[in-house]
Amino acid sequence: MSGLGGYDSAQMFYLLGFLVIIVLAFIPRMKSIGFGKTAKMALSWVIIFGALILLVGEWPRIRAALDPASPVVEGETLRLRPRADGHYYVRGTVNGAPTEFLIDTGASDIVLTLATAEAAGFPESALTFDGAAATANGMVRIAGVTLDTLSVGPIKVRNQRVAVNEGALDANLLGMAFLNELSGWRVENGELILVP
């Protein structure tokens, strides 16, 4: 039964077992309230629990529809939908600290905001802003740091060199330095697909 709407045979077995339990639970009531009412009650519970089971099984896709920064994970592949602004965002961690990234194919580096860098263990007072980068807002100073880990879903990159932007950066950027670590990435039917 594998492949039936994304459910495997174990899930189908549990679902069928659940339906049998509901039917058996309502058999004693048939004598007191009649078959018609018993069948309606049993059907109501089947619909309620069936909807809950479906919701749990489809939650990753529902969550991705509500928040495109939550990727749909298929094996190790990530599928991202664009937000209303047309950009692709994804949740991840830097040195274990949760954050959100804008995937920017126009950026060469991975760039962190000061707040994200601090959460990852790099306070502003310990940074040396000895580099410069050209941005849409002009030149900004940057500091180079090496992350222990950078994770996006099942994709993990270790000992990654990143830049910390001293200026007012709205979002952390995952540029080509991250995308080049992957075995592939593409846009398909409006979704950004990342393949580790």
Q: What is the pLDDT of residues 17-46, one digit of tens each?
A: 777 776 677 667 666 777 777 677 777 777
Same-domain check for residues 31 and 115: no
Same-domain check for residues 152 and 98: yes
Same-domain check for residues 153 and 105: yes
Specify if 4 maps to a domain: no
How many CA atoms lie within 13 Å of 53's alpha carbon, on the beta-carbon side?
17
Specify if 1 maps to a domain: no
More confident residue, 186 or 41: 186
Structural domain harbouring 148 = 72-195
Same-domain check for residues 51 and 133: no
Residue 85 has pLDDT above 70, yes or no: yes
Rounded CA separation 112/173 (Å): 7
Same-domain check for residues 99 and 165: yes
Domain boundary among 66, 83, 111: 66
Same-domain check for residues 40 and 90: no
Same-domain check for residues 47 and 83: no
Q: What angle do CA 191, 195, 196 make, to 5 degrees?
A: 145
Predicted local distance difference test score (pLDDT) of residue 3: 44
Same-domain check for residues 29 and 93: no
Which residue type is seen at 192?
L
Same-domain check for residues 148 and 81: yes
Q: What angle do CA 97, 99, 103 make, to 5 degrees?
A: 135
Same-domain check for residues 144 and 57: no
The structural domain count of the chain equals 2
For residue 58, give every residue at least 6 positions away whose Cβ sits within 8 Å of its Cβ, in sequence order, or none.
Answer: 6
Same-domain check for residues 86 and 151: yes
Give the model's confidence band at 63: pLDDT under 50 very low, under 70 low, under 90 confident, else very high.
low
Q: What is the residue-averaged pLDDT of the chain?
A: 82
Residue 65 has pLDDT above 80, yes or no: no
